[in-house]
Chain A
């Protein structure tokens, strides 16, 4: 099971004019794993994420997501993925239940199932009291957890998370990662970008990007061994910002 590839990327290039955002990326992601996608600001993480989720077209290269070619079957890919944007993008003027109902409906889930899932979700997050609250009124951490719950509502093969815990307090971050683990245990592949290196330690494998290229991919333990560092944070500083390393 672990060797089944759900994302296959070969020689992916994305250019914006003369700027190369993704420079010949090649990597695979396996079913059920938590794949950390690390890199400094502007390294090209979000660009890759958008290409994988069909929001952006690559300049060249082969990309297959959930078994479908991203060029020819972008819309089919979308049935099998969930996506959580860096910017909060549920409807802030709708209630919690209305947002869930809307996205459940868009993915074609039966109404009864959506209602059942809503109750189940809210109970598991201790949110039952907030069912009819407008999302815009809720604190950030709660909104991010809801956005994640909505992103996996339709049981996708893969969920893409773009800095899901940015600005979230440590306790809520932990709870968020518990949700990620649970999703992973349910067989959902998690593709996550983050700037928090403690979160990187939770991943099965991480890739570190710098200036549009992937510098290395391995398990956190493998990386620490290879670069003789105590933490992923040290690895990151060592290889993601070579210029910093030289001057420091």
Chain B
């Protein structure tokens, strides 16, 4: 036990004497929170719209002003020339073209119907679908209004329709930052864990200092524990720091228990650090280590459900997530922060992450060799 304390003390002295590392530990969370959280969003605003209004009637202007009134669209250009509008779409100068045919107003009021056409640039399928959904909403509203007008102007008929209202639970204002911030925190904690601890061990190999340790009677578990605890503490400090920045900058809600989140984060870090230490025993240079970790980090994070819900991934991907520690943390941090889930809600995840942790730590201890 005393041996471990001496070693841990040595790690902390080394980390904080390295001014770059000490700054990075506190700088990275700030940069990630300030830049990534507002930038990584699925909300679509400022869809650039080009309108081909061949009608120029009251009705067409009403429709256009409704579109302009919504916060999603930006009327970039109005023209009579269809080709010009298509060219704009082709050359990416606008995202959407709305064609209003001649006699639109007359047909709508007299005949009771007409057709308009919407063309969307769908290179980014998600944003195209969203843009189209917003546009359809506006058109439907307008449609309904026209119907009511028609009703008032004559033709008495009973119109019955179902009015729907909805409420979004856990994130009522559909604020994407609330969804993304916990995800960014997962990236932060994972990267700190995988990179710092692993590189530290590989650096000892490169410098040759590990050889001096290996001729001492130090036990394998002592070595692994002493390498694990400092980075566990740093990871938790970074998590707290990131949460604090999130609270100050974005007023992120925290509905659950902070203690529960940190308990889970500690278990998660043990699992990730175990993996880092295991990988470091396989690499002899920092370059090798970085190369391997880069891929693992990317797979872990993208599969964890940070952007796309893990539940809608293909079955094999969901099965892979059973061994992906980041998927557990991603789920739990959102559950605890946004839903206020309690201990019993996350118990299956706690069990899972403990099993992964036992696995990675055992691998690290088994693979660490005191001989060369």
In the complex, what residue of chain B is closest to A95 when comparing beta carbons? B13
Residues of B within 8 A of A53 (CB): 215
- A105 in contact with B18 given A57-B371, A78-B217 (CB within 8 Å): no
A107 at the interface (CB under 8 A from B): yes
From residue A12, how far is it (CB to closest CB) to chain B in Å?
16
Known: A87-B208, A106-B3, A108-B2. A55 touches B10 (CB 8 A): no
Q: Which residue of chain B has its CB nearest to the CB of A134?
A: B17
Flag A104-148 by CB within 8 Å of B: 1 or 0 each. 011110000000000000000000000000000000000000000
The reply to whether the CB of A50 lies closer than 8 angstroms to some CB of chain B is yes
Q: Is residue A101 within 8 Å, beta carbon to beta carbon, of the partner chain? A: yes
Q: Does B211 contact A (CB under 8 A)?
A: yes
Q: How far is the CB of A141 from chain B (nearest CB, A)?
A: 19
A98 touching B217, Cβ below 8 Å: no
Give the Cβ gap from B70 to chain A, nearest Cβ, in Å: 59
* Complex contacts, A88 vs chain B, CB 8 Å: 208
CB distance from B220 to the nearest CB of A (A): 10
Q: Does B312 contact A (CB under 8 A)?
A: no
B218 contacts A by Cβ under 8 Å:
yes
B-side contacts of A82, CB under 8 Å: 215
Does B79 reach chain A (CB closer than 8 Å)?
no
Q: Is A75 part of the binding interface, using a Cβ–Cβ cutoff of 8 Å?
A: yes
The reply to whether B371 and A90 form a contact with Cβ atoms under 8 Å apart is no
Q: Which residues of A contact B212 (CB under 8 A)?
A: 83, 85, 89-90, 103
Per-position binary interface string of chain B over residues 194-220, scored 1 when its CB falls under 8 Å from any chain A CB and 0 otherwise: 000000000000011101111111110
Residues of the A chain whose Cβ atoms lie less than 8 Å from the Cβ of B214 = 55
Please, how many angstroms separate the alpha-carbon atoms of A78 and B215 in the complex? Answer: 6
CA distance A98 to B14 in the complex (A): 11
Min CB distance, B3 to chain A, in Å?
Answer: 5
* A98 and B215 contact, Cβ closer than 8 Å, known pairs A89-B207, A89-B209, A108-B2: no
* B6 adjacent to chain A (CB < 8 Å): yes
Residues of A within 8 A of B370 (CB): 54-55, 74
In the complex formed, the residue of A with least CB distance to B226 is: A106
Partner-A contacts on B (CB < 8 A): 2-3, 5-7, 9-10, 13-14, 17-18, 207-209, 211-219, 370-372
- List 6 A-B residue pairs with CB atoms under 8 Å apart, sorted by A's residue number: A76-B217, A91-B10, A93-B17, A94-B17, A101-B6, A102-B6
The 9 closest A-B pairs by CB, nearest first: A105-B6, A83-B215, A89-B212, A87-B208, A78-B217, A89-B208, A79-B217, A106-B216, A89-B209
